Amino acid sequence: MTTALDQLKQYTTVVADTGNFQQLGEFKPQDATTNPSLILKAVQNDAYKPLLEKTVKEHASKPMGQIIDQLLIAFGKEILKIVPGRVSTEVDARLSFDIKGSIAKGHDIIKLYEDSGIDRKRILVKLASTWEGIRAMEVLQKEGIHCNMTLLFSTAQAAAAADAGAQLISPFVGRIYDWYKKSAGADWDEVKMGGANDPGVQSVRKIYAYYKKFGYKTEVMGASFRTINQITELAGCDLLTISPDLLKKLAESNDKVERKLSPEAVANDPVSKIDIDESSFRFLVNDDAMATEKLAEGIRAFAADAVKLEKLIEALK
């Protein structure tokens, strides 16, 4: 019988969400995504310590930021030996409100890949979906550097990113789900709020419908999944980036997977055009408690893991 993973691949481009490149061959994803937390987790694994130690040794005399960049690119290069498509490499979250710094870091990332003989078309530079991150992305996209807008929790962020020409966005399904479940507390009903009613699933569906209705070319890649059900409810989304644990469960399942998203399926979804400028963006994100809290929380967490990674590197110098 056809596995759930193979069925999903008929409707959606499957992406692996991991820094553990040794697991990639098993699931044959098209692309792969990384972030500071995934890289931190990977370098603490004995299998990847040699890569960390080699990178630090070769670049020990350079500033810490450059060593981090070299490590990210080292992982990205290994991933690109396995996946046929693209890898996403993230800009330091501490630059989330720094337009010039984010642009400079995007240039650094692309140069390191190109100096290694890798075409920039295979790289997605990941930026936080702040107003400043979106403005940096707009500049990079015009230069032919494709960007993946991450930490995205609202249609306002998605609309601003598409208006600015993002190649791809990554709305965070699981983190949205987490917020609503925690907010509801004892009143949370997993049966009623699961499946198609899952708030994270609904958010991605709304964004997908918005892009299809208004003709945006920006790719939608659902991310940050907690359950198989969240994934299968978004079958048909442009891309889905999935952790190795959930990829394994999909590969071991023979449950039927039906297409849930398509331009035709969302044609009658009630979505209205959003006119976005800086003030309206800031108000709409601020007016959405979930988006505001999860965006801030995500930036803090990625920044904290970047600091932890720096401490590991410092100990090896």
Residue 93: domain span: 4-316
Burial class of residue 90, CB neighbours in 10 A (0-12, 13-18, 19+)? buried
Contact indicator for 225, 213 with CB cutoff of 8 Å: no
Q: Tokens 């409100």 belong to which residue?
A: 97
pTM: 0.94
- Choosing from 126, 206, 260, 294, which is the catalytic residue? 126
The dihedral region occupied by 236, where left means phi > 0, alpha psi between -120 and 50, and beta the remainder, is left
pLDDT at residue 21, rounded to an integer: 80
Confidence of residue 23 (pLDDT cuts 50, 70, 90): confident
Mean pLDDT of 48-64: 91
The per-residue pLDDT of the chain, averaged, comes to 94
Domain with residue 79: its CATH number is: 3.20.20.70
Tokens of 201: 């699933």
* pLDDT digit string, tens, across residues 154-185: 999 999 999 999 999 999 999 999 999 999 99
CA distance 165 to 162: 5
| Residue 163 Cα distances to 52, 166, 281, angstroms | 38, 8, 12
The secondary structure element, H or E, covering residue 31 is strand 31-33
Confidence of residue 34 (pLDDT cuts 50, 70, 90): confident
The conformation of residue 172, written as its DSSP 8-state character, comes to: B
Contact indicator for 123, 149 with CB cutoff of 8 Å: no
Beta bridge partners of 149: 127, 169
Between the two ends of the chain, the Cα-to-Cα distance in Å is 52
**Contacting residues for 161 by C-beta, under 8 A, at least 6 apart:** 129, 134, 137, 149, 152, 169, 218
* pLDDT digit string, tens, across residues 104-143: 999 999 999 999 999 999 999 999 999 999 999 999 999 9
Asked whether residue 317 carries a pLDDT value surpassing 80, the answer given is no
* pLDDT digit string, tens, across residues 201-215: 999 999 999 999 999
Mean pLDDT of 231-256: 96
pLDDT at residue 26, rounded to an integer: 85
* pLDDT digit string, tens, across residues 282-304: 999 999 999 999 999 999 999 99
Percent of the chain topping pLDDT 70: 100
Mean pLDDT of 25-51: 88
pLDDT at residue 22, rounded to an integer: 80
Asked whether residue 1 carries a pLDDT value surpassing 90, the answer given is no
Q: How many domains does the chain have?
A: 1
pLDDT at residue 25, rounded to an integer: 80
Residue 308 bears catalytic tag: no
pLDDT at residue 268, rounded to an integer: 87
pLDDT at residue 37, rounded to an integer: 86
